């Protein structure tokens, strides 16, 4: 009897109850959708950063391996052995022949040959306007390094041993200075990294091993990010 009394209410009460419940359900659904979209956006951003980081790291390592192989090929070149054996015409070879060769790649800023005592064959005075980082007259360490001059300018310095073809003894070294940013951009395809955002975040000389941690970049703005206004 009491239940019947409770349920028997004017139509207005039922209407207001239904309206309030409906509004709450609607608000819950809106909140739920917003919350999910925020989660998706966060996941997309995290995924984009993760893909960009993976892509950049892979491309960076592949580029260094590629450069190392190029220098290895250069170290096996007959003409490098010719110059190390008899550098009488090194000046002409270095200034004319080397730069015409297909082995001298476009991102190489400077290539120098060093004798077995790690001294440059001939200490050529390079035009300072052309090369901001001059390879040293004597090799102090074979450890590869990166000299960062600005946010968009860094020079990778690599050394490669040249071995005697018979007894595999070191007969000299090749020193190379490479425009790192140009090399990375021109020799790699980036899908997740926005190439125009690649920058160096520290100035000065760093080892190649730590160089990656001083390179900053942004992922490309993908469709989801545009939709969600990221």
Partner 1 sequence: MKVSPLKSIILLSLLTLFINGPVQAENITLNVPHSNLKADAEYVAGDADKSAVLILHGFLTTNRFHTVISMARALQDEGYTTLAPTLTLNISKRQKAIKCNAIHTHSLEDDIIEIKAWIKWLHNKGYQKVTLLGHSSGSQELLATLLTDTEDLNINGAIFTSLFYLNGEELGISKQDIESATQAVSKGLTRPSKYSFLFCKNNYYSTPNSFLSYLKLDRQYVTEALDKLTIPSYTIMGSADQRYQSVGQNWLEVLEKSKTHLIMVEGANHFFSSEHEFDLQDHIIDIVNTL
Of the candidates 108, 121, 106, 111, the one whose C-alpha atom is nearest the C-alpha of residue 77 is 111
- Is there binding between residue 85 and partner 1 (CB under 8 A)? yes
- Is there binding between residue 96 and partner 1 (CB under 8 A)? yes
Pick from 92, 137, 141, 142: which binds partner 1 (CB under 8 A)? 92
Q: Which helix (H) or strand (E) holds 148?
A: strand 145-150
* Surface-to-core class of residue 101, CB atoms within 10 Å of its CB (0-12 exposed, 13-18 middle, 19+ buried): middle
- Is there binding between residue 161 and partner 1 (CB under 8 A)? no
Residue 74 CB, shortest distance to partner 1, in Å, is 13
- Is there binding between residue 81 and partner 1 (CB under 8 A)? yes
Q: Which helix (H) or strand (E) holds 4?
A: helix 2-7
Extract the tokens encoding 154: 């860094």
- Is there binding between residue 169 and partner 1 (CB under 8 A)? no
Q: 153 or 164, CB closer to partner 1? A: 164
Determine the size of the site formed for partner 1 (CB under 8 A): 17
- Is there binding between residue 97 and partner 1 (CB under 8 A)? yes
- Each residue of 110-124: b (16+ CB within 10 Å) or e? bbbbbbeebebbeeb
Residue 96 CB, shortest distance to partner 1, in Å, is 7
In angstroms, what is the C-alpha Rg of the chain?
A: 31
Of the candidates 141, 109, 150, 115, the one whose C-alpha atom is nearest the C-alpha of residue 208 is 141
- Is there binding between residue 153 and partner 1 (CB under 8 A)? no
Q: Which stretch binds partner 1 (CB under 8 A): 33-41, 45-53, 94-102, 173-181?
A: 94-102
Sites of contact with partner 1 (CB under 8 A): 76, 78-79, 81-82, 85-86, 88-89, 92-93, 96-97, 100-101, 165-166
């Amino acid at each position: 009897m009491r239940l019947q009394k409770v349920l028997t209410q004017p139509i207005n009460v039922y209407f207001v109850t239904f309206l309030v419940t409906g509004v709450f359900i609607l608000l819950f659904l809106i909140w739920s959708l917003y919350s999910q979209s925020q989660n998706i956006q966060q996941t997309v951003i995290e995924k984009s950063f993760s893909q960009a980081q993976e892509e950049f790291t892979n491309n960076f390592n592949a580029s260094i391996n590629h450069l190392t192989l190029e220098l290895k090929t250069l170290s096996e070149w007959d003409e490098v052995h010719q110059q190390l054996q008899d550098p009488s015409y090194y000046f002409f070879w270095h200034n004319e022949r080397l730069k015409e060769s297909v082995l001298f790649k476009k991102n190489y800023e400077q290539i120098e040959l060093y004798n077995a005592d790690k001294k440059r064959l001939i200490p050529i005075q390079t035009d300072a306007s052309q090369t901001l980082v001059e390879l040293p007259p004597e090799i102090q360490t074979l450890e590869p390094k990166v000299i960062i001059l600005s946010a968009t300018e860094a020079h990778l310095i690599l050394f490669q041993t040249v071995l005697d073809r018979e007894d595999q003894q070191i007969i000299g070294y090749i020193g190379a200075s490479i425009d790192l940013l140009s090399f990375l951009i021109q020799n790699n395809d980036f899908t997740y990294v926005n190439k125009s955002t690649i920058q160096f975040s520290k100035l000065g000389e760093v080892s190649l091993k730590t160089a990656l941690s001083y390179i900053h970049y942004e992922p490309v703005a993908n469709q989801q990010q545009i939709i969600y206004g990221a």
